[in-house]
Homo-oligomer: A and B are copies of this chain.
Amino acid sequence: MNIPRTSYPRVVIIGGGFAGISLAKKLGKKEVQAVLIDKHNYHTFQPLLYQVSTGGLEPDSIAYPIRKIVKDYPNFYFRMANVEAIDTENKSVCTDIGDLAYDHLVIATGSKTNFFGNSEIEKHSMVMKTIPESLNLRSLILENFEQAILTSDLADRNALMNFVIVGAGPTGVELAGALAEIKKGILPKDYPDLDIRRMKINLVQSSDRVLPAMSEVASEKAEDYLQKLGVDVWKNLRVTTYDGDWVQTNGAVNFKTATVIWSAGVKGATIPGVDGEELITRGNRILVNEFNQVKGFDDIYALGDIAAMQSDEYPSGHPMMAQPAIQQGKHLGKNLIRKIEGKEMKPFSYFDKGSMATIGRNKAVVDLPKFKFQGVFAWFVWMFVHLFFLIGFRNRLVVFINWVYNYIRFDREARLIIRPYKKRKHMSSQ
């Protein structure tokens, strides 16, 4: 990888998400040689991917060049690579651009979509964990309507306008809400020759409430908002399979649809070499101690979604979201310096800032540790918080302008099929 060895200890960070970047910022100007590896050359602000999929934001304004983040750090290296394995024997990371020795290794690979072993669902459904995936979904949604115009078969047309979102966590709820707003504000004007009332947005949740990780009141309010927006919420319903045509469930209802978006679960993105049975717990996460050290290793750490730091308060680890990743990244930054300086590391303690989700314009739910609120104010809080955590002044400004514009104009102008997702079938002429 053309990275010279120096007198500084080398810290290799795998993953440029919230955890990896927070750690990088702490180590940047310290006396360590840090190497950040990511398969993309940019950091992705995942909480807003659903707005890319629904044409509300440009992909480029929720992505930020990693090299720009680290450019002022004297001993910092970035490499764009896929990590294939970790050789803990020889303390080396194996990637598609070669191997790299480490003194300290930090695994911040985050999470990936969990299909719970259902390969048929995996084959036919869309996911939304990366920008390319979100753009594929954006293309598919629009291609479906372009195709719906052309087909004279009513069942086919309805299937093209039928959207099934599996999983009512924040991603599923926010996507369902955004689709409902497009249905109301944009599609009837864009497709006057389609009966958009036939468009259906189904949100399927296996448990008895949406946003199960949030408070009861948030769940109730969110479901109320979704219903007001015209989303069909299906609770206590489990999707068993999808063959690209029909969604089968464990209930009485099945769905004929061209589009299934799978947001029913994530699992840790483990790497061969540090994925031994004794290390892995629920959700395919790596067991770590209170210093984020991987069980049984003194020099390997795991952060964020991939790390399960079990405690009495969080028996199965912290929630898989941005805040624990950011806080663990910052904390490990300080701890690594301490360790390198021969000092004691300090245990991590998570400060729960709460959680939130937006359903649509003026409709959001916020759970703070002390109190919970919903509605317009919650919506403004949601926007402010997301702008705050976006990286980069330009990104913040462009996102803000898009939000103001979309709000005033009830519009979403990035409804572009830049790269078609599917080849449209031949249609009979008329």
> Interface 1/0s, chain A 396-421, versus B by CB < 8 A?
01100110010000010111111100
Distance in Å: Cβ of A178 to nearest Cβ of chain B: 16
Complex contact B424–A96 (CB within 8 A): yes
**Cβ-based interface call for A295 (8 A):** no
Q: Are A41 and B80 in contact (CB under 8 A)?
A: no
Is A64 an interface position by the 8 A CB rule? yes
Residues facing B in A128-169 (CB within 8 A) are 131-132, 135, 142, 146, 149-150, 152
Q: A399 CB to closest chain B CB, in angstroms? A: 10
Measured CB to CB, the closest approach of chain B to A272, in angstroms, equals 17
If A402-B394, A413-B65, A418-B135 touch, whether A426 touches B42 (CB-CB below 8 Å) is no
The CA of A193 and the CA of B60, in the complex, are separated in Å by 26
Q: Does A215 contact B (CB under 8 A)?
A: no
- Contacts A60-B58, A152-B2 given; does A41 touch B189 at CB 8 Å: no
- Complex Cα distance, B2 from A53, in Å, reads 28
Confirm or deny: A61 has a beta carbon within 8 angstroms of a beta carbon on chain B. yes
Q: Which residues of B contact A149 (CB under 8 A)?
A: 2, 79
Once A80-B417, A190-B71 are accepted as A-B contacts, the answer to whether A61 and B58 lie under 8 Å apart by CB is yes
B60 near A416 (CB under 8 angstroms)?
Answer: yes
Which residues of chain A from 108 to 144 have any CB-CB distance to chain B below 8 Å in the complex?
131-132, 135, 142
Classify chain A: how many residues form its interface, as a range. 35 or more
**A189-B99 in contact given A60-B59, A64-B413, A417-B42 (Cβ < 8 Å):** no
Write out the residue numbers on chain B whose beta carbons fall within 8 Å of the beta carbon of A340: none
B424 touches A395 (CB 8 A): no
Nearest chain B CB to A173's CB is how many angstroms away?
25
Any B CB within 8 A of the CB of A47: no
Instruction: Provide the residues of chain B in CB contact with A7, threshold 8 Å.
Output: none
Closest to A41 in B: B417
For A42, the chain B residues whose CB sits under 8 A away are 416-418
Chain B residues positioned under 8 Å from A132 (CB to CB): 418-419
Asked whether A429 and B1 contact (CB < 8 A) given A398-B398, A413-B64, A413-B68, the answer is yes
Q: A68 vs B58: C-alpha distance in the bound complex, in angstroms?
A: 17
In the complex with contacts A58-B61, A98-B430, A426-B97, A150-B1 CB distance below 8 A: yes
Chain B residues with CB under 8 Å of A40's CB are 416-417
**Nearest chain B residue, comparing its CB with the CB of A419:** B132
**What sequence of 0s and 1s flags, for each residue 77-114 of chain A, a beta carbon within 8 Å of any chain B beta carbon?**
10110000000000000001111100000000000000
What are the interface flags for A204-220 relative to B under an 8 Å C-beta threshold, 1 for contact and 0 otherwise? 00000000000000000
Q: Contact between A428 and B58 (Cβ–Cβ < 8 Å)?
A: no
Chain A 174-217 interface 0/1 with B at a Cβ cutoff of 8 Å (1 = within): 00000000000000011111000000000000000000000000
Query: Are A65 and B394 in contact (CB-based, < 8 A)?
Result: no
* A244 at the binding interface (Cβ < 8 Å): no
* A368 interface contact, C-beta 8 A: no
Residue in contact with A418 in the complex, picked from B1, B59, B392, B397, CB distance below 8 Å: B59
Q: List 28 A-B contacts (CB under 8 A).
A: A2-B152, A3-B430, A41-B142, A41-B415, A41-B417, A42-B417, A42-B418, A59-B418, A60-B413, A65-B415, A67-B190, A67-B415, A68-B189, A68-B190, A71-B189, A71-B190, A71-B192, A79-B149, A79-B150, A97-B427, A98-B150, A98-B426, A98-B427, A132-B419, A394-B411, A395-B413, A398-B401, A398-B402
